[in-house]
């Protein structure tokens, strides 16, 4: 399995504490390592940081980095798309008051959180579980083929199984060990700031609820 891991650096030019232009510098790298017979990405090793760099004429660059692994970067676009559409729709129909803005974008964040949670569950848990099961079935067939030809050993130098029951126990032991290593390498590899995408979705629901509560308070108090 191959995915993408990378660092997105957003650089904007600031003058007198006011942004005057924007430049995107996208650096994507691929790094692979072998685990359980499958290929996957090594984790990005850089950190979030904001670094001001002085330039001529009183200008300066401020560089910010977003860290993701695999398809974790998609959670940002999912959030921007859903929250932006829902928020803009509520603002268009209910006006530009603070209550309608807060309610619209709060609801958008909750819906985006649900979408990211489902997306994260699929790529980080359900999808890998199916791949692990397929891996186990394939490995069982290979091990039993070795048993049938008298070439199976549970470990280097170990004697072949004496009967079918012993062979079954040894085959399952080998399969479970190998599948456990494969599962660790496949699960939760799609992250944003080292957080699995499904938990990003859960976290997004919190500010969404806060914004909706604030909008209700504003509506009844104003």
DSSP symbols for 76-112: HHHHHHHHHHHHHHHHHHH-S-HHHHHHHHHHHHHHH
* Cα 197 versus chain centre, distance: 4
Same domain, 118 and 203: yes
Same domain, 105 and 184: yes
Same domain, 77 and 145: yes
Same domain, 60 and 79: no
> Which of the four pLDDT bands, split at 50, 70 and 90, describes residue 58?
low
Spatial contact of 60 and 53, defined as CB atoms under 8 Å apart? yes
Tell me: pLDDT of 55 over 70: no
Same domain, 155 and 48: no
In the predicted model, what is the mean pLDDT of the chain? 75
> Which of the four pLDDT bands, split at 50, 70 and 90, describes residue 64?
low
Angle at CA of residue 113, ends 112 and 118, nearest 5°: 100
Same domain, 12 and 98: no
CA distance 135 to 152: 18
pLDDT of residue 109: 95
Q: What is this structure's pTM?
A: 0.67
Same domain, 137 and 204: yes
Domain that residue 128 falls in:
72-222
Tell me: pLDDT of 27 over 90: no
What pLDDT digit, counting tens, does each position of 130-178 carry?
Answer: 998 998 898 888 888 888 878 787 777 778 888 888 888 888 888 888 8
Burial class (CB in 10 A: 0-12, 13-18, 19+), 222: exposed
Spatial contact of 61 and 52, defined as CB atoms under 8 Å apart? yes
Same domain, 169 and 111: yes
Total domain count, the chain: 2
Same domain, 39 and 80: no
């Amino acid at each position: 399995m191959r995915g993408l891991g990378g660092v997105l650096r957003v650089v904007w030019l600031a003058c007198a504490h006011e942004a005057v232009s924007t430049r995107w510098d996208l650096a994507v790298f691929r790094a692979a390592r072998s685990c359980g017979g499958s290929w996957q990405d090594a984790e990005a090793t850089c950190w979030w940081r904001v670094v001001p760099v002085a330039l001529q004429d009183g200008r300066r660059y401020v560089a910010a980095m977003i860290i993701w692994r695999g398809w974790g970067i998609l959670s940002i676009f999912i959030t921007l798309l859903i929250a932006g559409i829902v928020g803009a729709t509520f603002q268009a129909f209910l006006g530009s008051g603070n209550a309608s803005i807060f309610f619209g974008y709060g609801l958008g964040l909750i819906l985006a959180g649900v979408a990211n949670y489902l997306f994260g569950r699929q790529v980080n848990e359900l999808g890998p579980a199916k791949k692990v099961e397929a891996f186990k079935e394939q490995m069982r067939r290979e091990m039993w083929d070795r048993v049938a030809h008298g070439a199976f050993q549970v470990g280097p130098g170990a004697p072949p199984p004496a009967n079918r029951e012993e062979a079954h126990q040894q085959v399952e032991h080998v399969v479970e060990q190998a599948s456990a290593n494969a599962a660790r390498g496949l699960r939760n590899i799609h992250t944003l700031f080292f957080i699995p995408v499904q938990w990003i979705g859960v976290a997004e629901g919190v500010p969404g609820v806060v914004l909706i509560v604030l909008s209700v308070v504003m509506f009844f108090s104003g």
